[in-house]
């Protein structure tokens, strides 16, 4: 156990997109920019900065063109954005981005609810879109949602995930994202899924996107890590809730993942202290507590230190 852990993993911070799009209020563009700048300064190797979607769908990301342009090229940090279609790709290209993600679900009902198309219809669109992205010189991740379970259909067959992943690779995807979008997976389930996906996709092309709805995300990441997965999504403070359960935890908090990885001797290139300060900062900007255990502990230790200092001074 833990004898062949990877030396280094890449964490993609999805707070600015996946996190902020779940906020009920519009986050001002200067706040988003400062947030991304602080994440870059904390050493995040990859940041999902926005989504080039119709602002009618996601009004919170209506400033995608401006954010995209500002952070299309950041020395030492990969930046990427979601694109749902050819129009989104135009936006990403105009901004100058070098990597995008297309997304779909492994279950019919979730795909229908999320993008109002069947899986077959979505794949037909991607059959054109992915080659266009590649021809434009961009890398493209095919992100597959609800790989561990669907809020409408329940269990999702790993076979179904493998089929979609293989199809997306055939179209030209350069990476495959596997999203436990509802956070229902357990380490055994993640292992069984990866045992089927890794031989077809290759572990270096897999990106695991975990949610902490049931408190299993770090355990799931550790199981994947032991199977050789080296690319994980997360969001600082655990930004971004679960649309199926108001108030529930969202993405695995970046600081929980970084704490665990560093504690196990796996490098991330991230400055944990700067990351926690960034979490504290964005929490202040949003004006409500974020769910992350690690952030709460950090802020609690600060409170305790201040109490001690006050007691000592009086």
Identified binder of a second copy from the candidate list 28, 86, 155, 264, rule CB under 8 A = 264
Residue 212 binding a second copy, by CB under 8 A: yes
Identified binder of a second copy from the candidate list 28, 94, 155, 188, rule CB under 8 A = 188
Compute the distance between CA of residue 191 and CA of residue 44 in angstroms, rounded to an integer.
26
Between CA 95 and CA 101, with CA 97 as vertex, the angle to 5 degrees is: 120
Q: Which of residues 293-312 bind a second copy (CB under 8 A)?
A: 293-294, 296-301, 303-304
CA 177 to chain centre: 9
Task: Answer whether 67's CB lies under 8 Å from 94's CB.
Answer: no
Nearer to a second copy, 77 or 145 (CB): 145
Identified binder of a second copy from the candidate list 76, 137, 263, 287, rule CB under 8 A = 263
Strands 175-180 and 99-105: unpaired
Residue 10 binding a second copy, by CB under 8 A: no
Cβ 34 to a second copy, closest distance in Å?
A: 25
Cβ 263 to a second copy, closest distance in Å?
A: 3
Identified binder of a second copy from the candidate list 6, 43, 187, 228, rule CB under 8 A = 187
Nearer to a second copy, 94 or 245 (CB): 245
Strands 99-105 and 139-145: parallel
> Using CB under 8 A as the criterion, what x/- string covers residues 133-172 for binding a second copy?
----------------------------------------
The single-letter DSSP state of residue 98 is: S
Active site residue 242: yes
Nearer to a second copy, 20 or 184 (CB): 184
Q: Tokens representing 87?
A: 């129009």
Between CA 214 and CA 199, with CA 230 as vertex, the angle to 5 degrees is: 95
Task: Answer whether 196's CB lies under 8 Å from 154's CB.
Answer: no
Among 6-14, 58-66, 73-81, 243-251, which window interacts with a second copy (CB under 8 A)?
A: 243-251
Cβ partners under 8 Å of residue 210, min gap 6: 180, 183, 185, 217, 220, 221, 232, 233, 234, 251, 252
Identified binder of a second copy from the candidate list 163, 191, 200, 274, rule CB under 8 A = 191
Give strand ranges (E) for the chain: 10-13, 46-51, 78-82, 99-105, 139-145, 175-180, 206-210, 231-234
Point out which residues bind a second copy (CB under 8 A): 1-2, 5, 183, 185-189, 191, 212-219, 221-223, 226-227, 242, 244-249, 252-253, 255-256, 259-260, 263-265, 291-294, 296-301, 303-304
Residues annotated as catalytic are: 242
């Amino acid at each position: 156990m833990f004898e062949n852990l990877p030396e280094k993993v890449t964490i993609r911070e999805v707070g600015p997109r996946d996190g902020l799009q779940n906020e009920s209020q519009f986050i001002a563009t200067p706040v988003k920019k400062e947030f991304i700048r602080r994440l870059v300064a904390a050493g995040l190797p990859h940041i999902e900065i926005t989504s080039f979607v119709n602002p009618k769908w996601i009004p919170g990301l209506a400033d995608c063109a401006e954010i995209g342009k500002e952070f299309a090229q950041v020395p030492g940090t990969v930046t990427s954005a979601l694109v749902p279609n050819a129009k989104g790709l135009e936006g990403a290209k105009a901004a100058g981005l070098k990597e995008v993600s297309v997304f779909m679900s492994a279950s019919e009902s979730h795909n229908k609810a999320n993008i109002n198309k069947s899986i077959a219809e979505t794949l037909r669109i991607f059959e054109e879109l992915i080659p266009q992205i590649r021809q434009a010189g961009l890398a493209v991740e095919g992100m597959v949602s609800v790989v561990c379970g669907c809020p409408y259909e329940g269990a999702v067959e790993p076979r179904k995930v493998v089929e979609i992943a293989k199809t997306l690779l055939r179209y030209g995807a350069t990476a495959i994202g596997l999203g436990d979008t509802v956070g229902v997976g357990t380490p055994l389930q993640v292992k069984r899924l990866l045992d089927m996906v890794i031989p077809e996709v290759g572990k270096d092309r897999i990106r695991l996107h975990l949610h902490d709805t049931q408190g299993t995300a770090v355990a799931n990441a550790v199981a994947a890590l032991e199977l050789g997965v080296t690319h994980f999504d997360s969001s600082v403070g655990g930004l971004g809730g679960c649309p199926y359960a108001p108030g529930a935890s969202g993405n695995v908090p970046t600081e929980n993942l970084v704490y665990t990885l560093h504690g196990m001797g796996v490098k991330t290139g991230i400055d944990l202290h700067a990351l926690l300060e960034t979490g504290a900062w964005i929490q202040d900007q949003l004006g409500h507590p974020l769910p992350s255990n690690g952030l709460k502990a950090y802020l609690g230790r600060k409170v305790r230190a201040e109490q001690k200092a006050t007691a000592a001074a009086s």
